[in-house]
Amino acid sequence: DGGITQSPKYLFRKEGQNVTLSCEQNLNHDAMYWYRQDPGQGLRLIYYSQIVNDFQKGDIAEGYSVSREKKESFPLTVTSAQKNPTAFYLCASSITGWAGDTDTQYFGPGTRLTVL
C-alpha cells in the first residue's frame, strides 16, 4: 500500500558522528520535505526538493545535508556541524511543491534522534 516510510524510528548518535535518516515514498510525488520538531514547538523546514537532482535550503539547513538521486528517496544527513541535533524529524511529500490542488503535504511517521 502507498505511503511514506521513515527509518529508523529511533536513532542514537555520539557527538561528532554523522548520521543519515531515511525517507522513502511510493506515492509518485515530485516534492519532498524535511522538517524538524523540538519539544513544545511546531515544525521547521530543513530542506525541500521539488524534483529529482534538485533541492533547496529551508529555514534551518545549517549542519544538515540532503540528496535526491531518485524520485522516491530523500535521505537527510545530520552532520557533526549541527550543534543541537536532538529532535524529532519528519519527512513529507506532495504531488508538487506549487500551491494548488497538488500541494497538500503528507507526512511519514518520523525519526527520533538523540545525541548521547
Partner 1 sequence: AQTVTQSQPEMSVQEAETVTLSCTYDTSESDYYLFWYKQPPSRQMILVIRQEAYKQQNATENRFSVNFQKAAKSFSLKISDSQLGDAAMYFCAPYSGGGADGLTFGKGTHLIIQP
Site residues (vs partner 1, CB under 8 A): 31, 33, 35, 40-45, 48, 50, 56, 58-59, 88, 90, 92, 97-100, 103-110
Least Å distance between CB 81 and partner 1? Answer: 22
- Comparison of 82 and 111: residue with beta carbon closer to partner 1: 111
Strands 87-94 and 76-78: unpaired
Least Å distance between CB 82 and partner 1? Answer: 18
Least Å distance between CB 72 and partner 1? Answer: 18
Residue for cell digits 515514498?
A: 25
- Comparison of 43 and 80: residue with beta carbon closer to partner 1: 43
CA distance linking residue 101 with residue 96, whole number of Å:
9
- Comparison of 27 and 43: residue with beta carbon closer to partner 1: 43
**How far lies 42's CA from each of 34, 37, 113, in Å?**
13, 6, 17
Least Å distance between CB 33 and partner 1? Answer: 6
Which cell numbers in the block locate residue 62? 545549517
DSSP string, 87-112: EEEEEEEES-SSSSTT---EE---EE
- Comparison of 80 and 88: residue with beta carbon closer to partner 1: 88
